[in-house]
Structure 1
Amino acid sequence: MVVAIILLLVAVGSVLFHIYSPWWWTPIATNWRYIDDTINITFWITGAVFFAVIAFMAYCVFRFHHKEGRQAAYNPENKKLEWWLTIGTAVGVAAMLAPGLFVWHQFVTVPADATEVEVMGQQWSWSFRLPGKDGRMGTTDVRYVSSENPMGLNPDDRHGQDDVVIASDELHLPVGKPVKVLLRSLDVLHDFYVPEFRAKMDMVPGMVTYFWMTPIRTGTFDVLCAELCGAAHAQMRTKVIIEEESDYRAWLEKQKTFAELSGRSAVMRATYKSGGE
């Protein structure tokens, strides 16, 4: 009897602790409330199953506890019970998967009016790139990566000359505008993660992955790497600042294009060379 009561208290306490827990998600800052809803559905289904299983265990402990003269009966199979368990499990799994598939379809269907921003991760820093006035980003290749060209932009691609390159700095984005975030890694697996955005994706070397979002409120948000990427993984941080359109444009005007950065580097190399001679 005592064991059965303890099991029930554990089940009830676990569910109540989850409902009234002081540790919860940070306030959402993008359009992906669907992800929160999907996770909540999963929590409620798994919580109900957890409680049902523990309650059944408590019932069995109470109902079939040892008594003098009582003998256990061996029942090798019960087809009716197996059918009920199979159907119940299938319905529960489908109830958890269906909302996720619906959200995933939305997650990978980028709006036509979304602007692009590229995020590159490397041990252990972030770099960002925005399209220039032509609205297109140039091609990249790891063969072009250097201290003067940290993102490996193709110097012969005219579409990349006006790209805005932001190395080891904060990323600014306008509020209320859909953004397609292109993700790539220079070395190992990384993961661009902002808890308030809810959306994230692994960054795989040799691939360009992506997600999209629409920021819905202004603020400064921490960027974390959500994939263990080496000794300084925990220090791989920066910030994303969501701001009004006017403030975003003012910030963007101060940034340097790839052509400007390349020209400055060339001048510095030439000056250093002439000075050395």
Structure 2
Amino acid sequence: MALAATLVLIAFGAVVFHFASPWQQLPIASNWHAMDDALWLTFVMTGVAFVVLHLFMAFALVRYRHRAGHRASPEHGNRRLEWWLIAVTTVAIIGLLAPGLTVYAQLIDPPAGAQVFEVMGRQWQWHYRLPGRDGRLGMADARFITGANPFGIDPQDAHGQDDVLVQGQELHLPLDRPALARLRAQDVLHDFYVPQFRARMNMVPGMTTQFWFTPERTGRYEVLCAQLCGVGHSNMRSWVVIDEPRAYAGWLAQQPTFGGAGPSGSSGAAGTSVTAGVPGGPAEPGKLGRLLAQQKGCIACHSLDGSRGVGPSWKGLYGSTEALEGGGTAKVDDAYLRQAINAPQASIVRGYPPVMPPAGLSDAELAAVVDYIKTVR
């Protein structure tokens, strides 16, 4: 009897917890209300099954409990019960699968005129690319991928020269305009996910996947990786900012292009890296290193304000002394930073996990990033 009462309390408590729980969905910010409808249908069907099964087990424990003078008798086969179970199970499976398949078919079928943006996932950072003035993304291939060309854009493709390479880990999109996300992975399986948009998609190395959504609310929304992609998975985050059209146009005008000219047509130094497209070039101290640090995703793990991150903060780092795992200390100078960036496992700072991969920067890029770290005071 105690076990039967426990099963009834579990069923009742699960229902109460579901409605009273503080952990609810974030407010939706896109057109995918059908996702919420499908999710709620799943909750209802699985919730009803959960409660019914627990109550049935409680009933069976009470009804068929051991009693003196009673002896169980075997019964083989019950076709009527079997057909009922087959019918109910079939209807339930169709009810669970049909809404999801219908919504998924719509999710990967974008409307005409949707604004395209490309996402490249790599351990453990995001890169974003937008079409330039010609409205087309340039061709890309893995053999062209370098530290300064994470998308592998073909430098001989004219359509790629005006592609907009987003600086940093913050992508902007205009309000109320369908957006088509084209997704690629450079190394392992990733998943581009913004909870408020109710849309996500796996990113598989060697192929391009896609989904679309229409932002319906302005705001700043966090991007997560929804696949366990390695030890730094939890830090693979960035932001999508939804702007009014005028604000979006202003942000877009500030982004560099692959070929070295601003999106509005302003000229810059020729080149094929994100740093080449900055109008006026890297005139201020550390500017080139700052752009490289944003592009490589360094800022996702190393804060600039002294706050603790996955790795040590860069604020006041240069010239300080770091305690190392296993004992000993190290003076943070040019040589130490060069080694920490390109061979991070050589010396691990005490209290931080050994999750940073080698950055693979060239000597010139290393010098630029080190110069930038010197300016973070």
* 1:17 and 2:17 correspond: yes
- Secondary structure (helix, strand or coil) at the match of 1:230 reads coil
Runs of 4+, deviation exceeding 4 Å = 264-268
Whole-Å separation in 1 of the counterparts to 2:79 and 2:148: 70
Please say if residues 190 and 204 of structure 2, whose CA atoms lie closer than 8 Å, have aligned partners that are also in contact.
yes
Which runs of 5 or more residues in structure 2 are unaligned? 262-268, 282-363, 365-377
User: Who is 2:102 aligned against?
Assistant: 102
- Secondary structure (helix, strand or coil) at the match of 2:260 reads helix
Whole-Å separation in 1 of the counterparts to 2:68 and 2:5: 22
Q: Which moved more, 1:216-225 or 1:97-106?
A: 97-106
After TM superposition, give the deviation of residue 168 of structure 1 in Å.
Answer: 3.5
- Secondary structure (helix, strand or coil) at the match of 2:207 reads coil
1:120-269 matched pairs, under 5 angstroms: 120-260=120-260, 263-264=270-271
After TM superposition, give the deviation of residue 108 of structure 1 in Å.
Answer: 1.6
User: Who is 1:67 aligned against?
Assistant: 67
Whole-Å separation in 2 of the counterparts to 1:8 and 1:223: 40
User: Who is 1:2 aligned against?
Assistant: 2
Residue correspondences, number = 269
Identify, as 1 or 2, the structure richer in helix. Answer: 1
CA offsets per residue over residues 113-151 of structure 1, 9 Å max, x none? 201000001111111100011111110011111123222
CA offsets per residue over residues 161-212 of structure 1, 9 Å max, x none? 1110125431000010001000001111111111111101011111000000
1:109-124 matched pairs, under 5 angstroms: 109-124=109-124
Q: Which moved more, 1:103-112 or 1:206-215?
A: 103-112
Please say if residues 155 and 272 of structure 2, whose CA atoms lie closer than 8 Å, have aligned partners that are also in contact.
no
- Secondary structure (helix, strand or coil) at the match of 2:166 reads strand
Please say if residues 259 and 272 of structure 2, whose CA atoms lie closer than 8 Å, have aligned partners that are also in contact.
no
Identical-pair percentage = 48
Q: Which moved more, 1:54-63 or 1:40-49?
A: 54-63
User: Who is 1:33 aligned against?
Assistant: 33
- Secondary structure (helix, strand or coil) at the match of 1:260 reads coil
Whole-Å separation in 2 of the counterparts to 1:109 and 1:20: 37
Q: Which moved more, 1:228-237 or 1:245-254?
A: 228-237
Please say if residues 193 and 226 of structure 1, whose CA atoms lie closer than 8 Å, have aligned partners that are also in contact.
yes
Q: TM-score, normalised by structure 2?
A: 0.69
- Look up the equivalent residue of 1:11 and give its one-letter code: A
Distance 1:150 1:229, change over 3 A: same
After TM superposition, give the deviation of residue 52 of structure 1 in Å.
Answer: 1.0
Q: Which has the higher contact order (CA 8 A, sep 6+)?
A: 1
CA offsets per residue over residues 207-256 of structure 1, 9 Å max, x none? 00000000000001111111111121111111111110000000000111
After TM superposition, give the deviation of residue 265 of structure 1 in Å.
Answer: 6.0
- Secondary structure (helix, strand or coil) at the match of 1:240 reads strand
Please say if residues 258 and 272 of structure 2, whose CA atoms lie closer than 8 Å, have aligned partners that are also in contact.
no
Whole-Å separation in 2 of the counterparts to 1:190 and 1:179: 20
Please say if residues 150 and 167 of structure 1, whose CA atoms lie closer than 8 Å, have aligned partners that are also in contact.
no
